[in-house]
Structure 1
Amino acid sequence: MAKLKFTKTALLALAPPEAGKRLTVYDTEVPKLAMRITAAGARTFYVVKRVGASMTWVKLGTFPGMTVEQARGEAQKILGEFATGANPAAARRAIREEPTFAELFKMFLDSKKKRDGSPLSEKTKRDYRDSLRLYLESIKAKKLSHITRSDVKAIHAKATKKSAAQADKAVAIISAVFTFAADHEHFDGTNPASRIQKNPAPSRDRFAQASELPHLLPAIAESSLCDYFLLSLLSGARRSNVQAMAWRDIDLDAGIWRIGMTKNGTPQNVPLPPEAVATLRARKRAAGASPFVFPGTGVTGHLVEPKKAWATILRRASVRRLLDLLQTAGKLTDDERQRADRLLIEAPATAEKCYRAVADALEIDPADYDMTDLRIHDLRRTLGSWQAKTGASLAIIGKSLNHKTHQATAIYARLDLDPVRQSVETATKAMLEAAGIKEAASVVELPNRRSR
């Protein structure tokens, strides 16, 4: 009887027997675990156990689809059944009836409830399905008991090469699905995603600086989604909330926007500064039948993905900042600057390529003009940062941005909206003044706004 320590390398190295014969080898780690190899090269794991006068062969799975680690785990389960005198066939049926990860994933999306008892949002479901498609393909068809920590670690390592955050998210989804399975008694094994080491979380404190606002706000004003980005900046609200902003939730006379449910599970009253109210009044006059401030053609009925528009804004803002540097350095005449500005409006990508090449030739550091690292979410952080610059307390900033921490929640609850409004309006005025488009204590529209 041939024996060896089962490893992937050792098993793959075994040569198939000659035609008409089968080769059987046994594992030295789990002695009753065997692999049978056919002349055609098929390799199958079995548990081999004497029951009475006969030998029982319990098929576990084929290699390498079933790993050595999985085979040993299955073998231990079956041998445990034998030891208790139970019928191992019952254990085999239970494993056959066990759902795959994909099947449990679907049940999870259909039935999972958030802490407040509400179902997962359609956006969250789309995000989870994207993670399944992009990162979890290797475990979709596997039974839950066949998924190991090694599988999860491999998924995490591979996804980390693309995105550390998405890798951590993939592991969190796996863990959530297994927890859901245990809670609903679909699985009683170990969660293979528990205690997987996450990637270090990078600290991000990016926001629009005073030197960037004179270029950012005019670029926003030229965008077809100008109002969306302006309201994101002036309200400090989360991107998804601004996208789904509905007219029924806005009191323009009081300058209040009521968000029924935010990301942290609480409602929020957002005080709108005069510039935001003026923008909304203008949109209201031109609004159609849609209940949303920013209508969309998709299933949600509202704006969903403004990334392309944001990329164009950042490209224009960065190139304008570069053009200012070139003109100040005497590298552009007034006529050349006018031609550059026209090109930037008509073909932003072409203008960017052209003038970045000029900057490279002159050895201008991209850090002196490049703003393309600014994210949409940084508009929210920009309001909070300018509140801090203008003297607002952390409690005021936390309430205006709907932050929720154990330490500060009680303080936020005792605050009313008046100091929040004052802080938001002060920060708004400071930002617009820094951009050079607003006189102190006056309310004006952004220049170059596209008519609707």
Structure 2
Amino acid sequence: MPTSNRINFTKETIEAIAPPEKGRVTYHDTNKKASGLQLRVTSTGTKTFCVFRRMNGGNPDRVTLGRFPLMTLEQARKQAALISASIANGDNPAEVKRAHKAEPTFGELFDEYIERHAKPNKRTWEEDVQRFNQYLKKPLASKKIKAVDRNSLSTLHGDITNAGHPTVANRVLALVSSVFGWAINAGRADANPASGLRRNREKSRDRFLQGDEIPRFFTALAAEENPTIRDYFLLSLLTGMRRSNVLSMEWKDIHLARAEWRIERTKNGEAMTVPLPPEAIRVLEERKTKKKDSDKFVFPGTGKKGHLVEPKSGWERVLSRANLSNLRIHDLRRTLGSWQAKTGSSLVIIGKTLGHKNVATTQIYARLDSDPIRESVNKAVEAIMQAATTPISSSTDIADNFSSKS
């Protein structure tokens, strides 16, 4: 064991240093090529290289390099030389390292984004959390935000795309861009590495229930053994509202006498009053007769949200019974808009019905009817129900069929 704290560091001399009985002892390298290199040894036997130098401001400071033997003596001396050169150039490596340590990781930044921005402003914030957990947590969460660069994001986007999910890849990139956009405004980041990155071209989806598919769909719904799931699909079709809104529908927002449903905040951040067609009223009235006093939601659930979560297995059962393919739950929303166009409603009416913020979003329905006229959503629902009830005599019969099985 060395008799002095000032020794010429070698692998052998460092290995020979015994830990002190308590506290910490600092040893100084006498090698002239490694000015300021130190080794701090604790009572537990930990040996850590560091550099202790007077900075340009006149005050001495210490920069930790790494632990021996994971960091070799040669590596420590090279790092010490680089730090000396950095000081000569007017930098303060200790300040740089402290700033880096204080810099948040992308995971920490995302948590801030969710708590301070998404939860207060986005009904779909839980979808952001799901995307983060599925696609961003593993590759990015532990990275400092300045280490999240365009190259790493481009690679991630490509990996998700090559896995067969080009649209999801775009959504993930958009989420990263939103996080950094918020961070810049909040003074937490200086730049948005996702800005301007090339996205995949997306083909607008125009799948909806055709006339010959509707009877099969309603027959499959009638056979669904879970009335909550069945009614959720039916009201999604009859109202044309987004899945998240229908899933979280609350009784306090339903006004049966006025045939209205008030949504306080839609996806675009605005409130909306949804007209309820008679068929939707029937379903709601029947559900209300069987609701518990404690039921807050129209579609109660047993999870922490308190309401039904998207019933993927139930949807698969319905599609299987109806012999339907390439149909998503969101396509029920598109079905109402499509049948509005087929029965003569204008794009303005369709857009207002579905809560679109701009007409461009509604242009997809223009392909379905070249000469739309202004009509109400009830006309479209009536046409859907007439198609569904063939050869049943009236839409009332089919609605009563559904209500009787609740």
Give TM-score, length-normalised by structure 2.
0.71
Paired with 1:438 and 1:272, the residues of 2 have a C-alpha distance of 25
Amino acid aligned to 1:129: V
Given that 1:245 and 1:294 are in contact with CA atoms closer than 8 Å, whether structure 2 keeps it comes out as yes
2:311 paired with 1:306: yes
Of the candidates 110, 116, 122, which is equivalent to residue 111 of structure 1? 116
Post-superposition shift, 1:183? 2.4
Q: Percent of aligned positions with the same letter in both sequences? A: 44
Given that 1:273 and 1:425 are in contact with CA atoms closer than 8 Å, whether structure 2 keeps it comes out as yes
1:256 match: 260
Paired with 1:275 and 1:146, the residues of 2 have a C-alpha distance of 55
Instruction: Give the secondary structure class of the aligned counterpart of 2:396.
Output: coil
- Flag structure 2 segments of 5+ consecutive residues without an equivalent: 1-10, 13-54, 68-82, 363-372
2:396 paired with 1:394: no
Amino acid aligned to 2:238: L
Paired with 1:398 and 1:283, the residues of 2 have a C-alpha distance of 29
Post-superposition shift, 1:437? 3.8
- Flag structure 1 segments of 5+ consecutive residues without an equivalent: 1-18, 21-50, 63-77, 319-370, 410-419
1:381 match: 334
Amino acid aligned to 2:98: R
Paired with 1:61 and 1:139, the residues of 2 have a C-alpha distance of 24
Post-superposition shift, 1:57? 12
Paired with 1:275 and 1:194, the residues of 2 have a C-alpha distance of 46
1:151 match: 152
For residues 230 and 120 of structure 1, do their structure 2 counterparts lie closer, same or farther at Cα, with a shift above 3 Å needed?
closer
Map of 1:52-451 to 2, 5 A cutoff? 85-112=90-117, 118-121=120-123, 123-124=124-125, 126-136=126-136, 137-162=138-163, 163-188=165-190, 190-223=191-224, 224=226, 225-289=229-293, 290-318=295-323, 371-405=324-358, 423-437=376-390, 443-446=396-399, 449=402, 451=405
1:210-258 Cα deviation digits (max 9, x unpaired): 0101101111122222221111111111111111111211121221111
1:68 match: none
Post-superposition shift, 1:421? 11
Paired with 1:440 and 1:80, the residues of 2 have a C-alpha distance of 90
Paired with 1:79 and 1:251, the residues of 2 have a C-alpha distance of 74
Instruction: Give the secondary structure class of the aligned counterpart of 1:291.
Output: coil
Instruction: Give the secondary structure class of the aligned counterpart of 2:262.
Output: strand
Paired with 1:250 and 1:421, the residues of 2 have a C-alpha distance of 26
Paired with 1:291 and 1:83, the residues of 2 have a C-alpha distance of 68
Given that 1:272 and 1:421 are in contact with CA atoms closer than 8 Å, whether structure 2 keeps it comes out as no
1:334 match: none
Given that 1:234 and 1:273 are in contact with CA atoms closer than 8 Å, whether structure 2 keeps it comes out as yes
- Greater alpha carbon shift after TM alignment, 197-206 vs 137-146: 137-146
Paired with 2:86 and 2:201, the residues of 1 have a C-alpha distance of 43
Number of residues paired by the alignment? 325
Post-superposition shift, 1:161? 2.4
Given that 1:218 and 1:448 are in contact with CA atoms closer than 8 Å, whether structure 2 keeps it comes out as no
1:69-125 Cα deviation digits (max 9, x unpaired): xxxxxxxxx9997587342322222112211111111111111158xxx3444x52x
Amino acid aligned to 2:129: R
Post-superposition shift, 1:407? 7.6
Given that 1:81 and 1:91 are in contact with CA atoms closer than 8 Å, whether structure 2 keeps it comes out as no
1:112-146 Cα deviation digits (max 9, x unpaired): 158xxx3444x52x322322222221221111122
Paired with 2:66 and 2:268, the residues of 1 have a C-alpha distance of 45
Post-superposition shift, 1:186? 2.7
Instruction: Give the secondary structure class of the aligned counterpart of 1:112.
Output: helix
Given that 2:279 and 2:399 are in contact with CA atoms closer than 8 Å, whether structure 1 keeps it comes out as no
For residues 171 and 407 of structure 1, do their structure 2 counterparts lie closer, same or farther at Cα, with a shift above 3 Å needed?
closer
Paired with 2:66 and 2:263, the residues of 1 have a C-alpha distance of 53
Paired with 2:182 and 2:332, the residues of 1 have a C-alpha distance of 36
Given that 2:282 and 2:399 are in contact with CA atoms closer than 8 Å, whether structure 1 keeps it comes out as no
Given that 1:108 and 1:177 are in contact with CA atoms closer than 8 Å, whether structure 2 keeps it comes out as yes
For residues 439 and 221 of structure 1, do their structure 2 counterparts lie closer, same or farther at Cα, with a shift above 3 Å needed?
closer
Given that 2:248 and 2:297 are in contact with CA atoms closer than 8 Å, whether structure 1 keeps it comes out as yes
Instruction: Give the secondary structure class of the aligned counterpart of 2:397.
Output: coil
Paired with 2:376 and 2:66, the residues of 1 have a C-alpha distance of 65
Instruction: Give the secondary structure class of the aligned counterpart of 1:270.
Output: strand
Given that 2:287 and 2:298 are in contact with CA atoms closer than 8 Å, whether structure 1 keeps it comes out as yes
Post-superposition shift, 1:314? 0.5
C-alpha RMSD of matched pairs (Å): 3.6
Paired with 2:172 and 2:66, the residues of 1 have a C-alpha distance of 27
Paired with 1:310 and 1:286, the residues of 2 have a C-alpha distance of 23
Amino acid aligned to 2:281: V
For residues 113 and 211 of structure 1, do their structure 2 counterparts lie closer, same or farther at Cα, with a shift above 3 Å needed?
closer
Instruction: Give the secondary structure class of the aligned counterpart of 2:211.
Output: coil
Given that 1:437 and 1:446 are in contact with CA atoms closer than 8 Å, whether structure 2 keeps it comes out as no
Paired with 2:320 and 2:281, the residues of 1 have a C-alpha distance of 28
For residues 81 and 203 of structure 1, do their structure 2 counterparts lie closer, same or farther at Cα, with a shift above 3 Å needed?
farther
Instruction: Give the secondary structure class of the aligned counterpart of 1:211.
Output: coil
- The structure with the largest alpha-carbon Rg is 2
Instruction: Give the secondary structure class of the aligned counterpart of 1:202.
Output: coil
